[in-house]
Amino acid sequence: MLVSGTGSILQALLDACAEPGFGARVVAVGADRDGTGGAARAAAAGIPTFVRRLQDFPDRVSWDRALTQDCVEHKPDLIVAAGFLKLVGADFLSEFGGRLINTHPALLPSFPGLHSVRDALAYGVKVTGCSVILADAGVDSGPILAQHAVPVLDGDDEDSLHERIKVAERSVVVDTVGRMVRNGWSVQGRTVRIGS
Ligand code: GAR
């Protein structure tokens, strides 16, 4: 898994992986910065962690290459980016394209990017939510695996709305990853089908 922050979605997956029959385990957790809650949660669960900071590399291409190599070494079947706030590059996608999952706190294609909860509130939508997608080279543009709607309540601010979205995200990510690893998936154009 790849994280940049608190790692509450990572924790939900770690908890699910402990359930018999879930069908997956987290082999490693990578971060793009030091001191993430996600890396602390992984360490507490005895899972290997690594950090690759963009500022330690001369350019984005070499950072992407190092991140790709770190991930290759752990031989994952799937990579889940949960609150990972960097776009991966060509090397990463050539290795893991089609099996890199990203979770996003809005109903794509509405409100892509880093401020989707704020943008949805500013637009005045009454319903937003979360999207779990197969990441591609664009910003939150890949084929959609699953979505869940969350109502915007009177009086919501960015934090209260994001917290409610994250409650949904945790169960949608767990459900989606579980079904993918147990049943497989196929992609035709923009349409993803999980299971046969
Ligand atoms: C989640 O809402 C995730 O969708 C969002 O960061 C949060 C991570 O929460 N990701 C993005 O906004 C990426 N564009 P967590 O650290 O508690 O799992």
CATH of residue 118's domain is 3.40.50.170
Closest atom of ligand 1 to CA, residue 114: 14
Q: Give residue 53's Cα distance to chain centre.
A: 18
Ligand 1 and 5: CB distance under 6 A: yes
Q: Is 145 within the bounds of a domain?
A: yes
Q: Which helix (H) or strand (E) holds 9?
A: helix 8-17
d(CA 131, CA 106): 6
Answer yes or no: is 175 within a domain.
yes
CA distance 138 to 152: 27
Could you tell me if residue 191 is inside a domain? no
Q: Domain residues for 10?
A: 2-183
Ligand 1, atom 7: closest residue by C-alpha: 83
Q: What residues are labeled active site? A: 104
For residue range 41-82, what is the model confidence (pLDDT) as tens digits?
999 999 999 999 999 999 999 999 999 999 999 999 999 999
State if residue 128 touches ligand 1 by the CB under 6 angstroms criterion: no
On whether residue 112 sits in a domain, the answer given is yes
Whole-model pTM: value is 0.97
Identify the band that residue 196 occupies on the pLDDT scale cut at 50, 70 and 90. Answer: confident
Q: How many domains does the chain contain in total?
A: 1
